[in-house]
Amino acid sequence: MIAIPAVDLREGACVQLVGGSYANEPVRLDNPLEVARTWARSGFHRLHVVDLDAATGRGDNASIVRDILGEVPAAIQVGGGIRSGDTIERLLQEGASWIVLGTRALEEPEWLAGTASSFPGQLIVAADVRERQIVTRGWARTLSRTVLDVVEQLNDIPLGGVLVTAVHREGQLAGTDLFLMEDVAELSVHPVIASGGISSLNDLRELADRGIAAAVIGMALYTGALDARSVAEEFAT
């Protein structure tokens, strides 16, 4: 299993939110490019970069994303407000290794299927989950489908992975939702990336034991609850 630091962008800064709430932002760093470089220097080979402003229609951080793609020596998956094939193509040309799709991919399955056929293996569907229900539009809308319903539907689409974020654990350093992640890993034919609540090496080991391919880590790295170099050494590949 590989560990992937999160670089969440908001208003030109690198931030961390608690519980998916924009009103609860305990971490804000003014130089996202340097943050990304720091994770690469610590030994991480892959980064998760998300434009929160683009995801919620509050502007974008496109220039910062472009700088990270061009200057940080890591494989980078980019997400946040990506809702067109043209944007996907542009980001891939700028150096993204994978594109993370959320709201439109989940709300318009036919669009996802057609888009994935144009970019096989390069798209990751992000299923943000609150108590097993799918939430979209920056966690503001709850869909009627459960995460397991969605994962089963995604099995026939040529994706590069499925990213499941336990929003109810996000940023709280309370441990991951192991039961959720285990159920998803058993059902999905795609590599599963876990996110939300990861706070210890033991959390990472338990995810690995359950067949999770990768884990996105945010708050635990930014607060020092997890030592970056130790994580990178044990979960580099």
44 vs 38: CA distance, rounded Å: 9
Which residue carries 């061009």 as its tokens? 70
What is the length of the chain? 237
The verdict on whether 177 is a catalytic residue reads no
The verdict on whether 8 is a catalytic residue reads yes
Identified catalytic residue from 53, 128, 177, 203: 128
Nearest to 22, CA basis, from 74, 70, 58, 60:
58
Give the three-state DSSP class for 176.
Answer: coil
Q: Counting Cβ atoms within 10 Å, is residue 84 exposed (0-12), middle (13-18) or buried (19+)? A: exposed
Ranges of H-type helices in the chain: 32-41, 52-55, 62-71, 85-94, 103-107, 109-118, 147-154, 178-187, 201-209, 219-223, 228-234
Identified catalytic residue from 8, 51, 177, 203: 8
184 vs 169: CA distance, rounded Å: 16
List, by residue number, the catalytic residues.
Answer: 8, 128
